[in-house]
Amino acid sequence: MSTDITPSSNEPVVQEFPSPTPPPRKISRRKVIALAGTGTLVLVVGAGIWRAADQGVFSTGEGPAYEPWDDWRTTTKGPLDLVRAAILAANPHNSQPWLFHVTQTQIDLFADYRRNLGPVDPFLYEMHIGLGCALENLLLAATANGYITQVTLLPDAADATLVARIGLTRGNVPVSDLYPFIPQRHTNRYPYDTGRPVTSATLDAFSALGDDPDVKVFWFASTDMRQRVGTLLVDAANAFVADKAQDGVDTGIWWRGTWQDIQQRRDGITLDAAGLPDLTRALGKMLPSVSVAQQDSSFLQNTADQVKTAGAFGFLTVRNRQDRKQQLGVGRLWARMQLWATKEGLAMQPLNQATERASREVVLGSTPHFGTSLQTLVGDPAWLTLLSFRVGYSTHEGLRSPRRAVSDVVKP
């Protein structure tokens, strides 16, 4: 459409004569409305830009809450450098349930029970998976920083919060090629590219990253199996939303709805990391608040899109679900898998609502619908699911989630 507004050459030219006394300047009603409209528009646009800036629309992934992704290699030439890598690990709901006690020769990794997910993770399985992820990052960083490590899991029978003791001595060991990808790894909740299948060779390469005899990955890659797992995850998402105790954890306790909240608390779930289209994400950030109903419907819609575009699903399973060491083992493998995926240009996302529902069924004493369905899919009673996820080729880079500073997670 043309936007040219120059008058055409045959436009009549009206000559104007000055009045003897200039009349008071009259502004027509229409003009007043037009001007008011312009003013309002200027105000609205101005307020919109102000609100957009205030809510971080133009600063995605920036500010103090995101600095740990940039300064992770700032070195103190000591063990604290390993903590910088550990805190960038995946963890449930970005609750960052960790504390570190650091000396020159040892790091103790503690679970911070205050940061539990309540009815979403009543047995702290997910918390310990997240701690396993942090441990793996820490160990990858140890070799890169010239340390030989000696790891003891749960070294103190009297203190269950002390999940790992890592002894450090100076020495040279080969550095893993996964290490540089620590700050590039992000949970990717965008739709995946359905035109690029994930080959069985790729799935085998993922499986080969595991070295713990108590942890095993089961793959669901055929159209039929993806359909079955996808349906289960969508059903679980619906059951999750319908259960106000679980839903409130996502939409209330761990939801960070404003830019100020994110920058101050530096944890939790954010709109930026939700995998929404860029425009929806920007508009969502500008809204004064997103209602619980909007959050729920967006979560359900997202889940439906996410399962539809999965290249494959995987279940990380263990022999004994209650065993903390095995939960940590799942975390360690998940960390390696996600880093390897990042290196290979693949995207990954846990979709763990079915196991969250299975735990909830145990708490409520209700019929184990999701527990049984997970078991049926695995098809081997020796292996129990702790983490379900999808993998595929990304259509959009995964965005950063906030992180607390190292100083906030180091115990005196």
Sole binder of ligand FMN in the list 82, 85, 124, 133 (CB under 6 A): 133
Among residues 391, 392, 388, 390, which one has the least CA distance to residue 375?
Answer: 388
Q: Does 232 bind ligand FMN (CB under 6 A)?
A: no
Please say which residue, 143 or 355, places its beta carbon nearer to ligand FMN: 355
Q: Which residue lies nearer to ligand FMN by CB, 120 or 168?
A: 120
Task: Annotate 325-361 with b (16+ C-beta within 10 A) or e (fewer).
Answer: bbbbbbbbbbbbbbbbbbeeebbbbbbbbbbbbbbbb
* Residues binding ligand FMN: number (CB under 6 A): 20
What is the footprint of ligand FMN within residues 181-220 (CB under 6 A)?
186-187, 189
Q: How far is CA 182 from CA 56, 144, 281, 314, in A?
A: 24, 12, 25, 22
Instruction: Give min distance, CB of 184 to ligand FMN, in A.
Output: 11
Strands 312-318 and 98-102: unpaired
Residue 29 Cβ vs ligand FMN, minimum distance, rounded to whole Å = 55
Total length of the chain: 412
Strand order in the sheet with 106-111: 98-102, 106-111, 162-170, 147-153
Which residue, 69 or 110, has its beta carbon nearer to ligand FMN? 69
Measured CA to CA, the distance from residue 302 to residue 274 in angstroms comes to 8
Which residue number, 204 or 397, has a Cβ lying nearer to ligand FMN?
Answer: 397
**Of 351 and 406, CB closest to ligand FMN:** 351
* 370-389 binders of ligand FMN (CB under 6 A): 387
Q: Is 91 in the site for ligand FMN (CB under 6 A)?
A: yes
User: How remote is the C-alpha of 399 from its chain's centroid?
Assistant: 8
With CB under 6 A as the contact rule, the residue among 56, 68, 97, 130 that binds ligand FMN is 130
Q: Is 350 in the site for ligand FMN (CB under 6 A)?
A: yes
From the list 55, 143, 202, 352, which residue makes contact with ligand FMN (rule: CB under 6 A)?
352
Smaller CB distance to ligand FMN: residue 143 or 401?
401
Piece of the chain touching ligand FMN by CB under 6 A; list 126-134, 224-232, 279-287, 369-377: 126-134
Contact call for residue 93 and ligand FMN (CB under 6 A): yes
Comparing CB distances to ligand FMN, the nearer of 147 and 334 is 334
Residues forming the site for ligand FMN (CB under 6 A) = 90-94, 126, 129-130, 133, 186-187, 189, 273, 349-353, 387, 401
